[in-house]
Chains A and B, each alone.
Chain A
Amino acid sequence: MGWQFNCHPNMHATPTSVSHGATTTARLYNMRRIAWIPWRWWRRAAQFAMLVLFLWLFRRTEYTGADQLAGGENIFFRLDPLSGAAAMLAARQFIALFWPALIVLALTIVLGRFFCGWICPLGTLLDYFHRMLRPIARRTNRLFNSRSSNSRRLTAAGPPGESLRSARYVLLIVVLLAAAFSFPLVGFVDPLALLTRGMTLWGDPTLYRGVDAGFEWLDGRWGTAAVEPFVEKHLIPFRATAFRLAGVSAAILAAIFALELVARRFWCRYLCPLGAMLGLLGRWSLVGRLPVGACKSCGDCAELCRMDALGDGLSAEDCTLCMDCVDLCPKGIAKFAVKRSKSQPRPVDLSRRGALAGLAVGAAIPGLAAAAQVFRPRQADPYLLRPPGAGDEKTFLDLCVRCGECMKVCPTGVLQPAVFESGLEGIFSPRLIPRFVFEQTYCEYTCTLCGQVCPSGAIPRLTEAAKHERPIGLAYFDHSRCLPWGEETPCIRCEEMCPAPEKAIKILNTFAIKDADGFELEIQQPYVERDLCVGCGICESNCPVEGPSAIRVRRVDSPDPGTEIMLKR
């Protein structure tokens, strides 16, 4: 028979050893399998491709020899409707950069929560992590995947809406409402921001040091010298950066992965506010699984559903279209098709009580944060420098989605996450710390990369000339510690470094002294011509004085109301 040639070649080897009936079953089974590439293989291929794309773009978010990046490095964030909505609500403006998120929204309305099953790199990594855990799970006889295990405890008890699933809706409400009150929280819970920041702040520095130490230990043995240039050029960051909050970022990611031990895709099921947002839209999706709900006689699909979306009915806001239930249905009846009935078999997992609680918390957060200033009065930090071109502090914090892309792309590593310097809402927002690594961290004069990768426009896209027109800050000397001023020791390292074409650091006094050996030394005492200063901080970074630099860059706007910078030199 003709179709047999499409089947496994071994079919021919043992045709007589199987009974007639069994051959028929096998034939049917194989036809189904071979004539159609199973749906979940497509899904896995898409997940893998998207993860590779995500990682590749992450690696490309770096200076690679061109002043303009290829573009699209930030595409995953611009596809993210949660970050987009929160930033727009907080800043009260439409942000055109987020137009790709509209595509996700439109497709979600048609297909449902496909983003989580097919695209989200965090979801894919969680799936891979789950696969790694499976052997351990077997050994310890713990079940991760089925409704009969832990997950039932978390979801099945009580009436709908009382389950832990409501947590993600509460988070969504809190985030959006707080954003509406101009209190940006989205960066704390957005899955893409959590993943990218973890990779930037902790992953990259760890990866670099690990690989570097590994190659040093290998010392070119076993042919490793041949792969070293490739690995260094394409797989690891250019240099050993260091970041604040690296441990915190890693711990948050680790917790998300650890929750996989409690239930499969725990984060996506119960916590992810982006998933909640897409799920709500997906409730009315045109495409859905049939039959709606698991069959009474079997229920295998309900057991294997990673999102625990199947029971007596189907929870459309949970289904990520992973297609496991279609491919693995023993009877072959499960399928995805255009929905015929409009009936919604399962109510939203959010009780009125939960919704009200979310609204209350969301509305209360800005007030609570203001109250928290009782413990830490908001004294503006004059050294809190924001990336080039950033608007006033409030607008900047409203627009910034804390994705970490600017810190990733910064060639010197001067962009560091803020901790508490600008209040609770400012955590993870980027700031410049010029002396974070001596001689290394400062804003590169000709570089405009951070504005090119910012997905929300918090850091605007600037030309080099436009960047210099709006200084990041202005440099001020501490005369008591500056070597030529305070110690009559030659230095002017700051003047040497200053990249302004006419030098913003100039010499006020020049005189000669004799050192202990009678050798004549010239002392040049510098000052800052602040009209020329761009605030790049290379002077602060390179000042050879121990401890804090004897020249420091301060904010341009005097941030404490009522105070004013009086110094002239």
Chain B
Amino acid sequence: MDRREFIEQVAAWSAGTCLAAPLFDVRAVLAAEERPNGKPLMVVAKGKDYEALVDKVLKPLGGMAAFVKKDDRVVVKPNIGFDRTPEQAATTHPDVVRAVVRRCLDAGAKRVLVFDRPVNDARRCYAHSGIKDAVESLGDSRVRCEYVDNKDFVPVEIADGKSLDKFDFHRDALPPECDCYINVPVAKHHNQAKLTLGLKNVMGVIGGNRGIIHRDLNRRIADLNLVVRPKLTIIDATRILLRHGPTGGKLDDVKVLDTLIASADTVAADAYATTLFGKKPDYLGSTVAAAKLGLGEMDLSKVKIVNM
């Protein structure tokens, strides 16, 4: 390679790299997955054995096989956002996560990714939440509970967004890398958002500066949910954090409910979970904003609720 050739190649590669900077548009893929008509179905189940409770809550929905097809690449997205232990109720219960992952594997998933972009040091969050150990105890090579790599966030256009037009998302959480996204948030207090439930849980798969989301939190949460569309949302209300969320840390603020809420409709699930805190569904601005965007049903009278 002589000098001229070298310079030419450098120029060509640089130009190519710059021009090829990807800007993903997932609208076409999402349009193909519109929800069926009729009342959305939601299941509320209670029980002390959280692993069995997952099966119980999924049964009326047709079991995990209704969501995970054979050879699907699945993302299970719990809340692993904080360096807290399971009883402090700031993170999704590890037993719930393990049971969900186990059922995904049983349904024939090709690959199950469990991850979050934590606020605190990822290693501590994954360890103290018990989620990494719980998932790895399944001993299945198809499951990976890995830390997020900042290189995996890609810019995505949010065409119908009201407050955001573009944001970085984790590529593994989006089609075509992901066939089935399962949202497993924990229900807890959050001073600015009031509560953090299913819709807000999407903030764990976005990159960049999450601080700017807070300038118009409710509408921006709804906008982000235009991109990430869970096929199934299971809200972990086995214990809920009533005050001092989303970090918590005080056991007095935790209330044990032994409840799981499951639905294909995240908005409906959030609307119902809000009532567990003694509030009406419109208490959450994000639920209202998401319903306005047509992301789901927040009127619980129009939701078919099955209690188990």
Binary contact readout B119-147 vs A (1 if CB under 8 angstroms, 0 otherwise): 11101100110000000000000000000
Decide if A483 is an interface residue (CB 8 Å cutoff): yes
Bound complex: CA of A490 vs CA of B244, how far in Å? Answer: 18
State whether A502 and B250 are in contact (beta carbons under 8 Å apart), knowing that A444-B120, A519-B219 are contacts in the complex: yes
Kindly identify, within residues 521 to 558 of chain A, every residue whose CB is under 8 Å from any CB belonging to chain B.
521-522, 524, 542-544
Decide if A134 is an interface residue (CB 8 Å cutoff): no
Decide if B192 is an interface residue (CB 8 Å cutoff): yes
Q: Is the CB of A495 within 8 A of B192?
A: yes
State whether A65 and B127 are in contact (beta carbons under 8 Å apart), knowing that A496-B246, A544-B209 are contacts in the complex: yes
Q: Is the CB of B209 within 8 A of A490?
A: no
Decide if B185 is an interface residue (CB 8 Å cutoff): no
Decide if B247 is an interface residue (CB 8 Å cutoff): yes
Q: How many residues of A contact B (CB 8 A)?
A: 37
Bound complex: CA of A507 vs CA of B120, how far in Å? Answer: 23
- Inside 8 A of A492's CB, which chain B residues have their CB? 191-192, 214
Q: Is the CB of B124 within 8 A of A490?
A: no
Q: How many residues of B contact A (CB 8 A)?
A: 30
Q: Could you tell me the distance in whole angstroms from the C-beta of A271 to the nearest C-beta in chain B?
A: 39
Decide if A485 is an interface residue (CB 8 Å cutoff): no
Decide if A497 is an interface residue (CB 8 Å cutoff): yes
Decide if B3 is an interface residue (CB 8 Å cutoff): no
Q: Is the CB of B209 within 8 A of A496?
A: no
Decide if A63 is an interface residue (CB 8 Å cutoff): yes
State whether A439 and B121 are in contact (beta carbons under 8 Å apart), knowing that A65-B127, A498-B247 are contacts in the complex: no
Decide if A411 is an interface residue (CB 8 Å cutoff): yes
Decide if A99 is an interface residue (CB 8 Å cutoff): no
Binary contact readout B270-308 vs A (1 if CB under 8 angstroms, 0 otherwise): 000000000000000100000000000000000000000
Q: Is the CB of B212 within 8 A of A544?
A: yes
Bound complex: CA of A29 vs CA of B210, how far in Å? Answer: 73
State whether A490 and B250 are in contact (beta carbons under 8 Å apart), knowing that A444-B83, A524-B192 are contacts in the complex: no
Decide if A223 is an interface residue (CB 8 Å cutoff): no
- Inside 8 A of A524's CB, which chain B residues have their CB? 191-192
Q: Is the CB of A63 within 8 A of B123?
A: yes
Task: Point out the residue from A64, A439, A498 that lies within 8 Å of B211, measured CB to CB.
Answer: A439
Decide if B216 is an interface residue (CB 8 Å cutoff): yes
Bound complex: CA of A409 vs CA of B297, how far in Å? Answer: 48
Main secondary structure of the interface of A (DSSP, over half): loop
Q: Is the CB of B127 within 8 A of A446?
A: no
Task: Point out the residue from B119, B191, B248 that lies within 8 Å of A495, measured CB to CB.
Answer: B191
- Inside 8 A of B204's CB, which chain A residues have their CB? none
Bound complex: CA of A446 vs CA of B216, how far in Å? Answer: 31
Bound complex: CA of A63 vs CA of B120, how far in Å? Answer: 13
Task: Point out the residue from A64, A438, A490 that lies within 8 Å of B216, measured CB to CB.
Answer: A490
- Inside 8 A of B248's CB, which chain A residues have their CB? 501
Q: Is the CB of B123 within 8 A of A501?
A: no
Q: Could you tell me the distance in whole angstroms from the C-beta of B242 to the nearest C-beta in chain A?
A: 13
Decide if B190 is an interface residue (CB 8 Å cutoff): yes
Bound complex: CA of A64 vs CA of B83, how far in Å? Answer: 14
- Inside 8 A of B124's CB, which chain A residues have their CB? 63, 411, 444, 446-447
Kindly identify, within residues 421 to 446 of chain A, every residue whose CB is under 8 Å from any CB belonging to chain B.
438-439, 444-446
Residue of A nearest to B147 (CB): A238
Q: Is the CB of A507 within 8 A of B191?
A: yes
Bound complex: CA of A98 vs CA of B211, how far in Å? Answer: 45
Q: Is the CB of B214 within 8 A of A544?
A: yes
State whether A444 and B219 are in contact (beta carbons under 8 Å apart), knowing that A492-B192, A524-B191, A544-B212 are contacts in the complex: no
* Closest CB pairs A-B (n = 8): A544-B211, A501-B249, A501-B250, A411-B121, A65-B127, A493-B211, A492-B192, A493-B214
For the A-B complex with A411-B123, A444-B120, A503-B191 known, give 12 more contacts whose Cβ atoms are closer than 8 Å: A411-B124, A444-B121, A445-B249, A447-B124, A490-B192, A493-B214, A495-B191, A496-B190, A499-B83, A501-B250, A524-B191, A544-B211
Sample of 6 A–B contacts (CB below 8 Å): A412-B121, A447-B121, A490-B216, A499-B249, A544-B209, A544-B214
Q: Using CB atoms and an 8 Å cutoff, list the residues of chain A in contact with chain B.
A: 63-65, 216, 238, 411-412, 438-439, 444-447, 483, 489-493, 495-503, 507, 515, 519, 521-522, 524, 542-544
